[in-house]
Each structure stands twice: as C-alpha cells, then as structure tokens.
C-alpha cells in the first residue's frame, strides 16, 4: 500500500487524509468499505442495472427500395449491406428472446412439477406417520385391555387352585423349546 500525503495548503475545514493507492483488488474493496463505513448515515449509491439492448425497430416505410436494375451506383451495396446486417441482428435478438421465454416457461413448469412431487411425497410420509401412530395407539389400547383382563383373570384364578399354574408352566416350557436354536454354529 502506497501512501501519499495531501498538500498542506488545503482549507482546515476537513481533516487531511492520506491518499492510499490499492495494489490488489482485496485492498481496493477494503478501502471502499472503510470509506462507506466512515459515515454510515450517508446513503450509498447503488447504480441501476444497465438497460437491455434492443434493436432499432424496422422502418414502416422503406423509401429507397433496391431492385435488380442495372443502374445502381457503387454506394448502394453498402447501404444494402448495413440494412441486411441490422435486420439479421434484429431477427437474432427476437429468436433469443423467444428461446429465453421458452426456457423460463420450462423452468416454471419444472418448479411446479417438483413442488407437486414434494407435496405428494410429504402426503405419503404423513399418511405413513399417521398409520404408525394409529398402530401404536391400537397396540397400546390392546395391551392395556390385556393387562386389565389378566388382572381380572388373576383375581378369578387365585381362588381356583394349582391346576392353572401347571398349565402355565407347560406353556412356558413349550415357548422355551421354540426359542432354542435348531443348530449351533462354530462347534465341531
């Protein structure tokens, strides 16, 4: 960063600030930001977007219509060439605008399709969550009902005797047999 001092002969109304010449784009940006932040109340000017180039409209009435007559002067070809170039430029511009509009429409259609697909997926997942929630609630209710029945049955059975206990032990033995693995890996 090179610093050059201002002349001493300037009026004393403002502080003399050294002129700093930025050597890199990062320094230039830093200096611009510092200048903006010195007075934050001052509005920063934001330039407008440059206007899009439009070709000159085709003439409504063409005065000098060129024909294939034999007496055309040497300058007529250049006039014709400029008119032709301008017309081709205008047609290219119109074609580009049409392509851009088609691309915009395709983009909007694709965005709409993506939104619909996302909504469908969300609805499907919501339905799945609701189904799981409902399933859990029904399982919880059946478990509570089963517990109530076992409590009621337990109250009734306590008076019946030991026959029920023997049946329960046999059922537990059968369940244990079913849970035993039919083969064991790793033994010889």
What pLDDT is recorded for position 183?
57
- End-to-end Cα spacing for the chain: 83
CA distance 89 to 83: 10
CB atoms within 10 A of CB 30: 14
Three-state SS at 148: helix
What pLDDT is recorded for position 66?
63
CB-CB contact of 19 with 6 (8 Å): yes
What pLDDT is recorded for position 114?
96
CB-CB contact of 23 with 2 (8 Å): yes
What pLDDT is recorded for position 159?
56
Higher pLDDT, residue 28 or 167: 28
What pLDDT is recorded for position 164?
54
Higher pLDDT, residue 56 or 95: 95
90 burial type by CB count under 10 A (0-12 exposed, 13-18 middle, 19+ buried): middle
At 39-92, the pLDDT tens digits run 888 887 888 888 888 888 877 877 766 665 556 677 777 878 888 899 999 999
CB atoms within 10 A of CB 83: 15
Q: What is the DSSP string of 49-88?
A: PPPPP-PPPPPSS-SS---S-TT--TTHHHHHHHHHHHHH
At 153-184, the pLDDT tens digits run 777 766 555 555 566 666 555 555 555 555 56
| C-alpha dihedral (155, 161, 166, 172), degrees to nearest 10 | 10
């Amino acid at each position: 960063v090179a610093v050059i001092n201002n002349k001493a002969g300037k009026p004393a109304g403002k502080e003399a600030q050294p002129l700093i010449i930025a050597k890199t784009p990062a320094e230039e940006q830093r200096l611009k930001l510092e200048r903006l932040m010195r007075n934050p109340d001052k509005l920063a000017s934001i330039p407008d977007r440059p206007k899009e180039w439009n070709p000159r409209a085709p003439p409504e009435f063409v005065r000098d219509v060129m024909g294939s007559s034999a007496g055309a002067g040497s300058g007529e070809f250049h006039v014709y060439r400029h008119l032709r170039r301008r017309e081709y430029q205008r047609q290219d511009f119109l074609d580009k605008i049409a392509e851009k509009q088609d691309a915009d429409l395709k983009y909007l259609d694709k965005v709409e399709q993506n939104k619909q697909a996302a909504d469908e997926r969300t609805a499907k997942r919501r339905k799945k969550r609701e189904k799981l929630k409902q399933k859990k609630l029904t399982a919880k209710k059946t478990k509570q009902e089963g517990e109530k029945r076992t409590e009621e049955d337990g109250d009734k059975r306590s008076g019946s005797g030991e026959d029920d206990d023997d049946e329960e032990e046999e059922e537990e033995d059968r369940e244990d047999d079913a849970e035993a693995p039919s083969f064991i890996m790793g033994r010889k």
